[in-house]
Structure 1
Amino acid sequence: MASTASTHGAEVLVASNRGPVSYEVRPDGGGGSLHAKRGGGGLVSGLSAIGSDANALWVCAALSDGDREAVRRGVGEPGVRMLDIPADVHADAYNGIANSVLWFVHHMLYQTPLEPVFDAEFRRQWASYEAYNRAFAQALAEEAAQGAAVVVQDYHLALAPRMLRQLRPDLRIGHFSHTPWAPPDYFRLLPDDIAAELLGGILGADRAAFLTRRWADAFTACCHEVLGPGIPSGTRIGVHGLGADADFLRERAHRPDVAERMAALRAEIGSAPDGKARKTIVRVDRTELSKNIVRGLLAYRQLLDDHPEWRERVVHVAFAYPSRQDLAVYRDYTAEVRRVAEEINSAYGTPDWTPVVLHVKDDFARSLAAYRLADVALVNPIRDGMNLVAKEIPVVSDAGCVLVLSREAGAYEELGEDALTVNPYDITGTAHALHQALTTPDAERAERSKHLAAAATALPPAQWFLDQLRALDG
């Protein structure tokens, strides 16, 4: 039965796994005080852009013990509803399905001789994924005003649009995918009924949007392949290429804490034997399997082999921030990143030169410092929905940088013309591109960087979000 629309509900709703605020319980002699931490990103910017009088609501999951305690105590922020989904259900939905199946499918990460294995345990976890999506759909149905606009985010909530449509047919529903979308042959690794349910879930929306035309076309192809050609659906397909927030980045990158990090990084990088500043190849990533950090390090080692003249004259500044460390495969990958970096430093380093400056502790100010120092930006993902780092470094780099960019990053669609493009699996080709980037004349480097920055900021986060809302009116 459809739920009754609230006459005082929200007019604009966002649904995502992670919300704009998180909570931590700190011991203070009593039951512990709750401390809130605000998040950032495109959705936060977008919601703030519509104004405080827009009657907006963000529905998200309680992710930590602190979040769940906040829900239990009735603590919250205006405009946010946090769902206390049982921790075991969330773990199955988030780690078991979203991150260990859907992420692997869309990023084409499986070692197919051994995986995936869709057995009874998978089906049990899939039931949790359905329950997780249903909890969001029910909350949105309860909170939305008549005819409200609802924008559902990402692969965690692929089923929610259809579920919400059944509860509230009056709503204008959009779904946005922040990942790539797998081509039909790979998507069909999934059991047929699961593949159909995922597609049908998103087709419950009035509009399904993607970061690039390539991913949108792949989704459409999967619909035709799995559900049959000409499947009746009122779902419109859109593309919104999320850009960098230039004003925020440039202001934030010139605060005192960033200047301190720059001084520390310069000390780590050091000077070449002739006294000149060393060149810097910068990468900033989470240790996510799709980011291809290990092959980036191997390409750098190949550069030092192929062009020994760069020894002691270049440093690879590699920030690899831990991600999803509750999954063994991610812990193993992080360990491999460390091992290869240490191997390069052991094989090539000298008392005055550390070839790879590796940091694994997340530090946004230090990332911005590295952006500013970058001569070359290395962004070589196996596959990426967009990759905002590729867009952010040219915006912030002090002297302009050359972007070495994987053709499998969504950002390639907008930046490829002014970047040096690489096949992410080709170590030799990537090493050659790094050499080409390092030897690019200053004038050409500045010109490339200027074009990259312009393309990177064409659709800043606030505009990206507002465009999706306007498209729901179409």
Structure 2
Amino acid sequence: MASDVSGHGAQVLVASNRGPVSYQVREDGSLHPKRGGGGLVSGLSAIGPDAGALWVCAALGDGDREAVRRGVGESGVRMLDIPADVHADAYNGIANSVLWFVHHMLYQTPLEPVFDAEFRRRWASYEAYNRAFAEALAEEAADGAVVLVQDYHLTLVPGMLRALRPDLRIGHFSHTPWAPAEYFRMLPDDIARQVLTGMLGADRLGFLTHRWAEAFTDCCERFAGGLGGTRVGVHGLGADADFLRTRSREADVEERMAALREEIGTEPGGGPRRTIVRVDRTELSKNIVRGLLAYRQLLDDRPQWRERVVHVAFAYPSRQDLAVYRDYTAEVQRLAQETNDRYRTPGWTPVVLHVKDDFARSLAAYRLADVALVNPIRDGMNLVAKEVPVVSDAGCALVLSREAGAYEELGEDAFAVNPYDVVGTAEALHEALTLPAGERAERAKRLAAAATALPPAQWFLEQVRALREPAR
């Protein structure tokens, strides 16, 4: 699926596993496009329609592959029909089961990882997947074009592309944390070097926080002989305030607020109940299970909150093709049910859990939030921590893990927690719930300002400008 800018070559190119559009095959055989949003979409829109931009992405499902075969596509998008088995090995077998686990430090090391012959077979698929991107970018880019490669799925692309097109200005951005050197060295030595040297093929590398940038630099100094000529920058992706504030006032959000208020109910005396809100994918690093345990600890330690507070927990299924994620989702549901069985009264359900993804309902929960609970084990940024203070009607308190990237910008006005400390998190929830309304509103105002300091379009344009600057 080639774009209409390929005749003379694109001036700005983005490469990512997932693109801005996906396709479904309808019963009548027609293709239905579904368009996505996010920072990259905003950024490419911001550079204008005449900038000669191209997005290179992978075909992720049967609908996408059928669109490629039929030559159906969006202007400015090239979708790569990488063989499904190669993509599965690269995406699930390496990117999500190895690199994600390393950077989020998720392994249960007595049993995993095991870097055996099957791992090496999958790594060959990861190389092939990255090579397909590099070759497509090399084919589509104009002389001296800017190329922005995204995330841990495509760590080898910068080096491969540099070999094919040394004239290009190549950037790579990591949306995840970067593992500390002592954990990163868990990878086989040759694989660790290959990842680092692949990324060092870029002119410039971007990270969400100084902490992750410093961890990468340390890995390079210890295992790759340093950064060479590659520059490193930090761009803390912020929330899109204009979009969130407008979208959260639409009719479907108002409808879901009414439904949530019905589920939350009122205190025995008739006043509104307080809400502790979390909105996450059931991603292992999000720490939903310990969040539920902390809420249960709050009800044990502070019985005065029984019937006065509800934990509104949205845990949207993620990566359900991996058994460990299915098991984690089931544990979240079991624990929520167990908490409700233990504490429920005729007029009070302690945990309101939803597992079906619904963006309008998420925004409704943001608006109703008295406290936002964001307690990841480890997170590159965590945009939920930035979005809730922007949308919350009365201003919310933020209970935030010190291991979230967002802590670097928001920690001063949040209630910081060690994500492993359930008792400490329960106490932080109590402190957040008892924060006087005036102070809560002031904190929320400062949180919203920090959260929106670098909105998505500016985040993207800042990287494009930095790449176009001559190396010092």
Which TM-score band applies after superposition, normalised by the shorter structure? over 0.9
2:255 is the counterpart of 1:260: yes
* Paired amino acid for 2:136: A
CA distance in 1, matches of 2:190, 2:437: 55
* Paired amino acid for 1:20: P
1:290-369 to structure 2, matched below 5 A, reads 290-369=285-364
- 1:109 shift after superposition: 0.2
**Counterpart residue number, 1:63:** 60
CA distance in 1, matches of 2:360, 2:50: 33
- 1:26 shift after superposition: 0.5
1:54-93 to structure 2, matched below 5 A, reads 54-93=51-90
**Counterpart residue number, 2:461:** 466
CA distance in 2, matches of 1:61, 1:227: 29
* Paired amino acid for 2:26: R
Q: Can you list the C-alpha shifts for 1:307-330, whole angstroms capped at 9, x where unaligned? A: 000000000000000000000000
**Counterpart residue number, 1:242:** 237
Instruction: State the number of aligned residues.
Output: 464
**CA 1:361–1:7 in 2, change beyond 3 Å: closer, same or farther?**
closer
Q: Can you list the C-alpha shifts for 1:409-466, whole angstroms capped at 9, x where unaligned? A: 0000000000000000000000000000000000000000000000000000000000
CA distance in 2, matches of 1:7, 1:324: 38
- 1:232 shift after superposition: 6.1
User: Secondary structure of the equivalent of 1:52?
Assistant: coil
Match of 1:158 among 155, 160, 166: 155
Match of 1:192 among 185, 189, 194: 189
Q: Can you list the C-alpha shifts for 1:48-77, whole angstroms capped at 9, x where unaligned? A: 000000000000000000000000000000
- 1:234 shift after superposition: 1.3
User: Secondary structure of the equivalent of 1:47?
Assistant: helix
Match of 1:34 among 6, 14, 31: 31
CA distance in 1, matches of 2:227, 2:50: 37
CA distance in 1, matches of 2:240, 2:286: 22
Report runs of 4+ in structure 1 exceeding 6 Å deviation: none
CA distance in 1, matches of 2:91, 2:238: 26
Report the TM-score, using the length of structure 1 for normalisation.
0.97
Q: Can you list the C-alpha shifts for 1:349-400, whole angstroms capped at 9, x where unaligned? A: 1111000000000000000000000000000000000000000000000000
* Paired amino acid for 2:429: L
2:145 is the counterpart of 1:142: no
**Counterpart residue number, 1:404:** 399
2:106 is the counterpart of 1:109: yes
Runs of at least 5 residues in structure 1 that lack an aligned partner in the other structure:
1-5
2:17 is the counterpart of 1:17: yes
Q: Can you list the C-alpha shifts for 1:212-234, whole angstroms capped at 9, x where unaligned? A: 00000000000011123xx3621
User: Secondary structure of the equivalent of 1:344?
Assistant: helix
**CA 1:324–1:232 in 2, change beyond 3 Å: closer, same or farther?**
closer
**Counterpart residue number, 1:3:** none
2:217 is the counterpart of 1:220: yes
1:425-440 to structure 2, matched below 5 A, reads 425-440=420-435
Tell me if structure 2 keeps the 8 A contact 1:7–1:145. Answer: no
CA distance in 1, matches of 2:227, 2:353: 52
User: Secondary structure of the equivalent of 1:54?
Assistant: coil
* Paired amino acid for 2:56: V
**Counterpart residue number, 2:282:** 287
Tell me if structure 2 keeps the 8 A contact 1:7–1:146. Answer: no
- Calculate the aligned-residue CA RMSD, in Å: 0.7
Match of 1:393 among 381, 384, 388: 388
User: Secondary structure of the equivalent of 1:282?
Assistant: strand
* Paired amino acid for 1:40: G
Identity %: 83
User: Secondary structure of the equivalent of 2:461?
Assistant: helix
**Counterpart residue number, 2:3:** none
CA distance in 2, matches of 1:303, 1:152: 44
* Paired amino acid for 1:195: A
User: Secondary structure of the equivalent of 1:53?
Assistant: coil
CA distance in 2, matches of 1:225, 1:430: 36
2:267 is the counterpart of 1:272: yes
